[in-house]
Structure 1
Amino acid sequence: MDDVEIEDVNDDDVPQIQKAPENQDLTFLSQTVGDVLAQYGWCLLIVTVLVYLLIQQLSKRRASQASSTPPPQTQQDPLSVARRQEALEAARRRMQEEHDAQTAIFREKQKKQEEEKRRQKIEMWDSMQEGKSYHGNAKLSQSAEEASSSTVLKPKTEKKSLRSTGYNPLTGEGGGSCSWRPGRRGPSSGG
């Protein structure tokens, strides 16, 4: 429908209808929004960001609460619950029995080691009472065991004492093919 302008010939009592401007409502709206943004723009921006962050925080909280609460318990068959508990008890018993067996084996090894130490102490005491050196006997028994296990023995080489060769590590002389020398004194060269 077109905006029609009706004019009466008699301008006495009848009001005249005039054609309205076309963009009056959009102009008024844009002016109002512009004025509000000019006065309260930063405040509106900050309030908008805070509302957004509040919504994000609440959604995270709701998600964490939903995941942390267990789902509602449904009716379970008492027989299945009893079977599950029996299976748990059986598994616990097996694990306990394995642990007990390992503990018994460990204790047996400990007793054997203690018995061996006690036997060695008795042998040492007896050899000392007879006037023999225990360490000598121990070395002889060890060397006999080594000889029986390996037939090739390495000859012993005499080591020269470091004092007889004139070795002094602080001077860097007489110690062999390798010698240490102190670094230069003074400032380091750098760019």
Structure 2
Amino acid sequence: MEDVEITDVNEDDLLYEGNEAPLQNQDLNSLSQIAGAFLSQYGWYLLVVIFLVYLIIQHLNKSSSQRDRNAVLVARNQEAMEASRRKMQEELNAKAAIFREKQKEQEEEKRRQKIEIWDSMQQGKSYKGTAKLSQTTEEASSSSAVLKPKDKKPLRNADYNPLTGQGGGSCSWRPSRRGPSSGG
């Protein structure tokens, strides 16, 4: 008998020789078997892990959006505080300017009074009378209401004497002597 060579044609019209097996990708076949075995053993665990990762990602997205909103609120609050601080600083600067003007006026008034006193001393007059006169005119102009002197009444009876212990009522308590306590 003669040796016959058998050729096989598969679906792709490729020729195979008799002893050779059809070409297959052994890596993909073994990988699919490994993946199938892994999923059959750990499929539920993998599904739970994927679900937890999804929940964590959703939570992080929510918290980041809240942080963004909070950052906007914080920025607005800081801007409002800064505006309030600027307003307060402007008011303070205005008050300080008014105070400086008053100080200058007072210094000018004191300088004017010293000049008047010096002039009166040069003329041989008493400077105390002129100084008192100018102070009373300033006080009269600054105060709008005239204060009446109050009647003074005594705090204790006239017959009260703390040294004798009489006249102060029925209480005769005296404080104890100061110093370290005696005892053993």
**Please, what TM-score do these two structures have when normalized by structure 2?**
0.36
**Which is greater in Rg?**
2
